[in-house]
C-alpha cells in the first residue's frame, strides 16, 4: 500500500471542517475570525481542572515558547499551537529533503500532505499531553487527576486544531496559527503598557500607568527608565523603534525591469522584497530552540533534578524557582536568550553563542525555504516566462533569466535572514515588549492581514478584481 493510500484510508475517519458551500461575505468572515479569537483568548485564561494556579505559574515557559506556540502553561492553551507548528514544519523539512516524496505543486499531493499533517498533529498532541501530564511540569498529580488533565489537554488542543482549520477552510480570514501568535504578542504588549498590577518596586506593571503614577505622586521618572525584567521606558522606546524599523524594511523592494515579449515598449518592474524570506527563518529556528528547551526540561525534571548527571547536564541543567525552571547550563541554556542587557553583559559567552546559533540557523533555513517554498530564481524565471515576460537585454530563456535573478535573490536571502535574526536577538536584550521575535512576527502577520483585507474589499467591490487576482 502506498503512502497516499494509507493516509487517505486513515483520513476518512478523522473529523474535519467542511468548506463553505458559498463564499461567505467579508463581514461574515470577520465575525467567524473574531469568534475564534475570543474563544482562544478565553481558553488562555481558563485554568485546567485539577491543576492549581501555583503549579501553572511554576511551569511557565520562556517568552520565546509563549510567543511561537501561543501557549500559557496550566490553562487550556498549555500546548497552544505547538503541535500544529511542530508537525507542519517537520513535514515541510521531510518533504523538502525528499525523505517523503510529495510534489506540492500537484493538487493530489497537497491533499495527501494536508491529511498527513493533520494525522501527525494528532500524534504530537497525544505525546505532548502525556508528557506534560506525567512529567511533573503541571505539579504532582494523582493518577485519576492525570487522566482528567490528559483528556482536557487533548480535547482543548483538538479544538484549537479545528479553529485553525475553520479559518483556513474559508470561514475566516488568514490563518488561525498566525492569528493566535499575533493576539498573544498584542496581549503581552498591552499588559506591559497598561497592566494595573503593582510590582515590588511600588509602581504599576504597565509602563504608561507607572509614568502617570510617578508624575502624579511626585516620584522619580528616572526609576522607570530601566527596571530590569519589568516594563520600563527603555523597553517602550525600543519597541516603538523596532516597530518602525520592521515596517520600513517590510516596505523595501528591489525592482527588476521586465517587459512583455510581444508588446514592444511595454516596460514594467518586478518587485523583490528586501526581506525576501520574511520571518520564516526565525519561525523555523525558534521552533527548533523551543523544542530543545521543552524536551531538556522534561529530561531534567525526570532524570536529573539535582543536576548531578554530567552527561545530562550537557543537554540542560536548571534551577527550580517558583516561576518555573531557569536554565543554568548545557544546550538549553544557550538556545534561550538573556532576558536583559544586564544578563547579556554578565555572560557575554551566552550572548555570542546564542546570537551565532540564531544567525546560523536563520541563514540555513532561509536557503532551504527559498528552494522548497517556490522562491528560487529558477521558479521565478519560469513564472515570468509563463506570463509572457522577459528581462530587457537577455534572451527569453528560463536559465538565462534565472542566472540574472540569482544575483539578487541569493544575496537578499542571506541578508534578510541575518537581519531578521539580529532583530530577534537584540530585541530581547533591550526589553522590547513581546520580545524581538514577537514584534517581528506580529508586524509581519498584521501586514499580511492588512493586505488580505484590502484584497477582500476590492473583490467585494467588483467581481473583475476577483478574476484579476486569480479567484
Residues in CB range of 454: below 8 A, 6 or more apart: none
d(C-alpha 440, C-alpha 68), whole Å: 11
pLDDT > 60? residue 57:
no
Which residue would you say has higher pLDDT here, 96 or 439? 439
Give dist(CA 184, CA 66) in Å, integer: 8
**pLDDT value at 374 more than 70:** yes
**pLDDT at residue 452, rounded to an integer:** 86
- Residues 203, 215 contacting (CB under 8 angstroms): no
What proportion of the chain, given as a percentage, has pLDDT over 90? Answer: 22
* CA–CA separation, 35 and 18 (whole Å): 18
Residue matched to cell numbers 552527561: 311
* All residues at 6 or more sequence positions from 427 whose CB lies less than 8 Å from its CB, including other chains: 238, 242, 435, 436, 437, 439, 440
Q: Residue 389: helix, strand or coil by DSSP?
A: strand
Confidence at residue 301, expressed as pLDDT on a 0 to 100 scale: 80
Pairing mode, strands 253-260 and 267-273: antiparallel
H helices present in 270-376, as ranges? 280-303, 310-315, 331-334, 341-346, 348-372
Q: In whole angstroms, what is the distance from residue 223 CA to residue 211 CA?
A: 10
> How many CA atoms lie less than 13 Å away from 424 in the CB half-sphere?
36
pLDDT at 38 over 90: yes
The grid coordinates listed for 121 are 498533529
- In this predicted structure, what is the pLDDT of residue 414? 92
pLDDT value of position 58: 46
Q: Which long-range contacts (CB under 8 A, 24 or more apart) does 312-320 make?
A: none
Q: How high is the mean pLDDT of the chain?
A: 83
Q: Between 143-166 and 176-194, two packed helices, what is the crossing angle to 10 degrees?
A: 110
* Least confident among 390-404, 416-430, 447-461: 390-404
**Residue 257 β-bridge partners:** 269
Percent of the chain with pLDDT over 70: 88
pLDDT tens-digit map of 114-144: 888 888 999 999 998 998 888 767 777 888 9
What is the fold of 240-471?
Preprotein translocase SecY subunit (1.10.3370)
**Nearest alpha carbon to residue 188 among 63, 316, 357:** 63
Instruction: Give 145-170 pLDDT, tens digit per residue.
Output: 999 999 999 999 999 999 999 999 88
Asked if residue 2 has pLDDT above 70, the reply is no
Q: Across residues 4-30, what is the average pLDDT?
A: 82
pLDDT digits (tens, 9 = 90+) for 380-408: 888 777 777 777 666 667 777 788 888 88
Distance CA 210, CA 195 (A): 9
For 138-146, the CB contacts below 8 A with 24+ separation are 138/48, 138/51, 138/55, 138/56, 138/59, 138/73, 138/74, 138/78, 139/51, 139/52, 139/54, 139/55, 139/58, 139/59, 141/50, 141/51, 145/50
Each residue of 203-250: pLDDT tens digit? 888 999 999 988 887 677 888 888 877 888 988 999 999 999 988 888
- Residue 287 has a pLDDT of 81
Q: Which three cell numbers stand for residue 410?
A: 541569493
Q: Could you give the CA distance from residue 11 to residue 352 in angstroms, rounded to a whole number?
A: 46
Q: Which of 205, 112, 126 is nearest to 158 (CA)?
A: 126
pTM for the structure as a whole: 0.81
pLDDT, residue 266, reads: 61
- List, in order, residues 6 or more apart from 426 with CB less than 8 Å away: 436
Strand-pair partners of 390: 259
User: In CATH, what number does 3-171 get?
Assistant: 1.10.3370.10
CA distance 433 to 205: 12
Residue with grid cell 505622586, as numbered in its chain: 217
- For 7, 58, 114, 381, the CA distances from 14, given in Å and listed in that order, are 11, 35, 12, 40
**Which residues of the chain does CATH 1.10.3370.10 include?**
3-171, 240-471
Cα–Cα distance for residue pair 90/249, rounded to 1 Å: 29
Q: Which of 113, 117, 90 is nearest to 101 (CA)?
A: 113
The number of CA neighbours under 13 Å toward the Cβ of 389 is 18
**Any bridge partners for residue 256, and if so which?**
270
Of the listed ranges 332-341, 378-387, 441-450, the one predicted with least confidence: 378-387
Of the pLDDT bands very low, low, confident and very high (cuts 50, 70, 90), residue 99 is: confident
Amino acid at each position: 500500500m502506498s503512502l497516499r493510500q494509507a493516509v487517505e484510508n486513515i483520513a476518512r475517519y478523522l473529523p474535519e471542517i467542511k468548506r463553505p458551500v458559498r463564499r461567505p461575505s467579508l463581514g461574515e468572515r470577520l465575525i467567524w475570525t473574531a469568534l475564534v479569537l475570543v474563544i482562544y483568548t478565553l481558553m488562555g485564561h481558563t485554568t485546567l481542572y485539577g491543576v492549581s494556579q501555583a503549579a501553572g505559574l511554576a511551569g511557565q515557559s520562556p517568552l520565546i515558547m509563549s510567543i511561537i506556540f501561543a501557549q500559557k502553561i496550566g490553562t487550556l492553551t498549555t500546548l497552544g499551537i505547538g503541535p500544529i507548528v511542530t508537525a507542519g514544519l517537520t513535514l515541510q523539512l521531510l518533504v523538502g529533503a525528499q525523505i517523503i516524496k510529495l510534489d506540492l505543486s500537484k493538487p493530489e499531493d497537497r491533499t495527501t500532505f494536508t491529511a498527513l499533517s493533520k494525522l501527525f498533529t494528532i500524534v504530537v498532541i497525544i505525546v505532548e499531553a502525556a508528557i506534560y501530564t506525567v512529567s511533573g511540569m503541571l505539579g504532582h498529580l494523582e493518577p485519576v487527576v492525570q487522566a482528567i488533565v490528559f483528556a482536557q489537554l487533548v480535547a482543548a488542543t483538538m479544538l484549537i486544531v479545528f479553529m485553525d482549520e475553520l479559518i483556513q477552510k474559508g470561514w475566516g480570514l488568514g490563518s488561525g496559527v498566525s492569528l493566535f501568535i499575533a493576539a498573544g504578542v498584542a496581549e503581552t504588549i498591552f499588559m506591559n503598557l497598561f497592566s494595573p498590577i503593582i510590582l515590588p518596586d511600588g509602581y504599576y506593571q504597565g509602563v504608561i500607568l507607572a509614568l502617570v503614577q510617578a508624575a502624579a505622586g511626585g516620584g522619580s521618572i528616572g526609576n522607570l527608565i530601566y527596571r530590569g525584567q519589568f516594563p520600563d521606558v527603555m523597553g517602550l522606546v525600543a519597541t516603538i523603534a523596532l516597530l518602525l524599523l520592521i515596517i520600513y524594511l517590510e516596505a523595501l523592494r528591489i525592482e527588476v525591469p521586465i517587459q512583455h515579449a510581444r508588446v514592444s515598449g511595454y516596460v514594467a518592474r518586478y518587485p523583490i522584497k528586501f526581506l525576501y524570506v520574511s520571518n520564516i527563518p526565525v519561525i523555523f529556528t525558534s521552533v527548533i530552540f523551543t523544542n530543545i528547551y521543552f524536551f531538556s526540561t522534561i529530561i531534567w525534571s525526570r532524570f536529573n533534578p539535582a543536576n548531578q548527571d554530567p552527561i545530562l547536564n550537557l543537554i540542560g541543567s536548571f534551577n527550580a524557582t517558583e516561576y518555573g525552571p531557569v536554565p543554568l547550563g548545557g544546550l538549553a541554556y544557550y538556545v534561550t536568550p538573556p532576558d536583559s542587557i544586564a544578563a547579556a553583559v554578565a555572560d557575554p559567552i551566552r550572548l555570542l553563542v546564542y546570537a551565532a546559533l540564531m544567525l546560523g540557523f536563520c541563514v540555513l533555513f532561509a536557503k532551504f525555504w527559498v528552494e522548497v517554498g517556490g522562491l528560487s530564481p529558477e521558479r521565478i524565471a519560469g513564472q515570468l516566462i509563463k506570463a509572457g515576460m522577459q528581462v530587457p537585454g537577455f534572451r527569453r530563456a528560463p536559465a538565462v533569466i534565472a542566472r540574472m535573478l540569482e544575483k539578487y535573490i541569493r544575496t537578499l536571502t542571506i541578508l534578510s535572514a541575518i537581519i531578521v535574526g539580529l532583530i530577534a536577538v537584540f530585541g530581547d536584550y533591550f526589553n522590547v515588549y513581546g520580545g524581538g521575535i514577537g514584534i517581528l512576527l506580529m508586524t509581519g502577520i498584521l501586514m499580511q492581514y492588512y493586505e488580505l483585507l484590502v484584497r477582500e474589499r476590492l473583490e467585494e467591490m467588483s467581481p473583475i478584481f476577483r478574476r484579476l487576482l486569480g479567484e
